[in-house]
Amino acid sequence: MLITIVGIIMFIMAVRVLISQDRAERLLYLNVIGFAVSALVALYIKTPFGAIVAITFFICSTLSANAIAYTLDRLKDEITLDYGEL
């Protein structure tokens, strides 16, 4: 039951990544997909090795989430040039 729910959430986020026009929204949806994959690994593989894989993937997803947050923070300060006005 839980695997189905997480899978549905992951599918919805994948569709939203494809539909979204904003780069920041895409990064956030990709972050949710990363956490969902670690949850699916933990729920599907019910062995100690599966737990180790899920924990490792979760830690890597957390690091990527921090990188995404850092990138989004830097996007606020980004100066864009419009070459059409030149």
Question: What confidence tens digit (pLDDT) does each residue in 27-43 have?
Answer: 788 888 888 888 888 88
Residue 85 lies in a domain: no
CB 83 within 8 A of CB 77: no
Residue 81 lies in a domain: no
Residue 37 lies in a domain: yes
pLDDT of residue 80: 67
Indicate yes or no: pTM above 0.85. Answer: no
Structure-derived torsion over alpha carbons of residues 70, 17, 57, 75, reported in degrees to the nearest 10: -10
**Residue 64, Cβ neighbours under 10 Å: how many?**
15
Residue 82 lies in a domain: no
CB 13 within 8 A of CB 32: yes
- DSSP letter at 84 equals G
Range of the domain at 25: 2-76
* Pairwise CA distance, residues 1 & 47, whole Å: 19
Q: Tally the domains of the chain.
A: 1
Q: Which stretches in the chain have pLDDT values below 50? A: none
